[in-house]
Structure 1
C-alpha cells in the first residue's frame, strides 16, 4: 500500500519506484518460469492489469531483458494474434568462477541459461599461495567478461565458488582445508585484482552452488516439479548441498554442506582438515586413486586435467581391470554408508551425484544403492532415488552464474537505463 506523501511527495515517489521495480521483477520471473507469453496472458496469470503489463514489458524490452517473439493466438480468443514476449539472452550474463584443489574454472551464462563462454584449466592450487591462484582466476574472469562485452552484453555479477567454509555476507573464506587456505577476505582480494569492477563480486561454498545448478537441471527433467534434493559432489574433497522447497539450505551461519567431514571411518586415514576418518578419506578422488593405482601411475599427476584422469579410470573399468573395479566398488559402498546417514536425517526425494561421482556413476551407483537400502530405516530407502547429474565438474560455476543472474530477476533495474516509470 502506498503511504501518504510528505516533504514534497518524496515518500510516495519512493514507493512508486519500489512498486514498479517489484512489478518488473514479477513479469520477468514469470516469463522465465512460464515461457513466452503475450502481454494479455501475462496480465491474466500475474493479476496485474493490462496497461501496467504493457508498460512493464516495454521497459524490460528497452533494458534488453525481454524481446518480441512470434505472434500467437490465445486459445479461444477472437481477433488478431497476440505478440509473444520472451527472455532476451543477449543483454546480460552471469559469471561463475571456481577454485578447486587441482583446477580453476569459469562460466558465463546468458539470461536464458545458455552458455556464452566457459573454460577450465588444470592447476595444482593446493601447492600455490592464494595470491598466485587469485591472480590466475582474475585473468579467467576478465577473459569471460570480455567475451560477454564483445557480444554487446554486460556482466550482472561474478560469484566465486570455493571448497570450504564461507561467510557470503562478509565475502570471507574462513577455512578451506584441502586448499590450505584460512581467514581470507576473498571478495576484497578479487575485487582488487579486477580493478574494482562495476558488477558485484560474491563468494559461496562450491557444493551449495553445485546443488542449485543440479536442482535447476533436475526440474527440467521432472517438468518443473520441485523436489527436495541432496547433491554430493566429489573431487579431492567431498561436499554436499540441500535444496528443499526450491530453496538452498545454507544453515544458521552459512556453514552447511561440509558432509565430507562426517566421521564415518574411525580407522581411516588423516583428512586434510587434520581429523581422522572423515568421509572424504574413503570416497574422495584421492582415496579412489590410492586404491586403484600405484604411486607412480601417471593418472595421479595433478597437472593432468581431472577429466583426462577420470577418462583413464573409465577406460580401465570398461576394460574390466580387476583392481579398478574393486576400488570403485569399495568407494561406492562407502558412498552409500555416508549417503544413508544423510537420507535417514533429511529424507530427500533424490540423492544427486555430482563431480567425479557422476562421471564414474555407472560403477558407483549399484554398491551405493545397496548400502542405502541396507542402512536406511524407512522402507525402500525412504523413497530416495539416486540420480547422476549431467553437469559433471561444471555444476559449481553454473550455480555461481545462476546466483549472479538471480539478482537481475529480483531487480531488473540493475541492467540498462535508469528506472523512470511510475507504478500504475
Structure 2
C-alpha cells in the first residue's frame, strides 16, 4: 500500500501519548492490516506477530467481528498436540468502497467491497463541461444513488465515496478550487453531493483525478510497486500523479502534479486555463483531434465530446488503415509527450512514466517518438533509465484509485464502520 505521511492537521497530539480511543483504533487497524497482508490466522498467531497481548487481540477481534470486518473460518492446530486454534480472516463483504470520476465527457464508477471484489464498474457518457456545475452535480447525484442501490443489492453498503475531478482540489474541505476544462471555480463538491444524496448519509470526499489514477497505477498497474514513478492521464487535458519514494507527492496545498500546464510553447495555442502554450495544448486529446481531423473538435469551445474510448478506437482504426495525416499527427504528439516527459524526468528522476487514457490506447504509435525525445533531452542521458509504459487500467484508473483510497482509510480506521459516520478526511494526507 502506498505510504502517506500525515498532514500537519492530523498531527494534533503534539507528540503526547495516544489516548485510549486512539490507541484502540490504531490496534484495530494493526490487526486488520495483518489479516489483509497475511491471510487467515489464529488470534495467537496475530498476538505473536504484532507483539500485542493475547487478551488484547481477543478483545480487538471481538470488536472486528461485531463490525463485520472479519469472520471465523475454521480451526488450525499448533503442532501435533495442543488445543485447536480458531482462525479468522478479513471479511468486509458487506462493506463497500465507491470510487467515482467526473471528467469533461463522462462519469466513471468503480465500486468494490473491502476484499476488493468488484461490485459495479461503468462509464456513463456525460457532457459535464457543457452542462455546467449545477446540472453536473444533479447528474452525479443521480448516478451515485443508482450505483449505491446496485452495491446494496450485491450485499455491500458504501463506507465512503471519493470523487476524482480534473483540476485543483482542496481535498480537506472537499472544494474544487479550479477545474479549467470543466469551467468550475470554488465548487464545494463534497458538500453539494452529500446534499444530493440526502438521507443516504454516505461520507463524500474529493481529490484530483490524476492523483487517484497514480494510486491505482502504484497498487494495480503495469509498474505496481515502483517507488519512483509518474502517472499521466490522457484526456482532453493532461494531469500527473507523482510518486516519490513510494509516497504520493501533494505539495504544500495539495496542488502538485498539474503537469498539463507546464509552459512549453510561448507561441502556441491558448489553454483552457487561459495561458498560452501549456503542455496539454500539445498532447491533450483535443489537441490531437484538432490537428489530425481539422473539421472536427473534441471537448473544445462547447462542442459535445463523444466517448473518449470510442474516439481513441476510431483513431487507432485510421492508423491501422494507413491514414498518413493521422500518423503524422500522432507522431508529433509523441514528440511533445517526450519533451514534457523529459522535464518531469529532470525534476523527479522517475523510473517509469505510465501513460493512461488515450495515450495508452495509441501507445504503439505514441511511445516510440516520445521515448526517443525523452532520451535526447533528459540531462542524465542513459543514466536516468526512465521509460514510458502504457497503462492497462483504461479510462477507469482514477475511479479505481478512488475506491482503493476508501479501502485504505477503512483499514486505517476500522471504527468508521458500524459506528458514527467518518468525521475526518480520507484524502489530503501526502508529502
After superposition, where does 1:79-94 map in structure 2 within 5 Å?
83-94=86-97
Write the distance in 2 (CA, Å) between the matches of 1:52 and 1:313.
60
TM-score, scaled relative to structure 2 = 0.86
Partner-residue secondary structure (3-state), 1:86: strand
Contact 1:72–1:81 (8 Å) recurs in 2:
yes
Write the distance in 2 (CA, Å) between the matches of 1:302 and 1:34.
49
Q: Which moved further from structure 2: 341-350 or 294-303? A: 294-303
User: Which residue of structure 1 aligns with residue 429 of structure 2?
Assistant: none
2:312 aligned with 1:310, yes or no? yes
User: Which residue of structure 2 aligns with residue 275 of structure 1?
Assistant: 275
Q: Offset of 1:375 from its aligned partner?
A: 1.1
2:404 aligned with 1:374, yes or no? no
Partner-residue secondary structure (3-state), 1:265: coil
Write the distance in 2 (CA, Å) between the matches of 1:407 and 1:351.
27
Q: Which moved further from structure 2: 346-355 or 278-287? A: 346-355
Runs of 5+ in structure 2 lacking a partner? 1-17, 421-431
Write the distance in 2 (CA, Å) between the matches of 1:241 and 1:96.
17
Write the distance in 2 (CA, Å) between the matches of 1:280 and 1:167.
22
Write the distance in 2 (CA, Å) between the matches of 1:288 and 1:317.
13
Q: Superposition RMSD on alpha carbons, in Å?
A: 2.5
User: Which residue of structure 2 aligns with residue 49 of structure 1?
Assistant: 53
Partner-residue secondary structure (3-state), 1:161: strand
User: Which residue of structure 2 aligns with residue 113 of structure 1?
Assistant: 116
Change (3 A) 1:350 1:37: farther
User: Which residue of structure 1 aligns with residue 190 of structure 2?
Assistant: 187
Q: Which moved further from structure 2: 18-27 or 41-50? A: 41-50
Q: How many residues align?
A: 401
2:350 pairs with 348, 351, 368, which one? 348
TM-score, scaled relative to structure 1 = 0.87
Change (3 A) 1:319 1:247: same
Write the distance in 1 (CA, Å) between the matches of 2:233 and 2:305.
21
2:288 aligned with 1:284, yes or no? no
Q: Offset of 1:320 from its aligned partner?
A: 2.8
Write the distance in 2 (CA, Å) between the matches of 1:247 and 1:189.
30
Change (3 A) 1:342 1:72: farther
User: Which residue of structure 2 aligns with residue 422 of structure 1?
Assistant: none
Contact 1:299–1:312 (8 Å) recurs in 2:
no
Write the distance in 2 (CA, Å) between the matches of 1:96 and 1:367.
34
Partner-residue secondary structure (3-state), 1:394: helix
2:39 pairs with 35, 41, 60, which one? 35
Partner-residue secondary structure (3-state), 2:30: helix
1:384 pairs with 383, 386, 395, which one? 386
Contact 1:31–1:86 (8 Å) recurs in 2:
yes
Contact 1:213–1:402 (8 Å) recurs in 2:
yes
Partner-residue secondary structure (3-state), 2:353: strand
Partner-residue secondary structure (3-state), 2:251: coil
User: Which residue of structure 1 aligns with residue 30 of structure 2?
Assistant: 26
Write the distance in 1 (CA, Å) between the matches of 2:259 and 2:223.
26
Q: Offset of 1:128 from its aligned partner?
A: 1.2
Contact 1:96–1:398 (8 Å) recurs in 2:
yes
Runs of 5+ in structure 1 lacking a partner? 1-13, 419-424
User: Which residue of structure 2 aligns with residue 294 of structure 1?
Assistant: 294
2:221 aligned with 1:198, yes or no? no
User: Which residue of structure 1 aligns with residue 178 of structure 2?
Assistant: 175
Write the distance in 2 (CA, Å) between the matches of 1:196 and 1:382.
53
2:418 aligned with 1:416, yes or no? yes
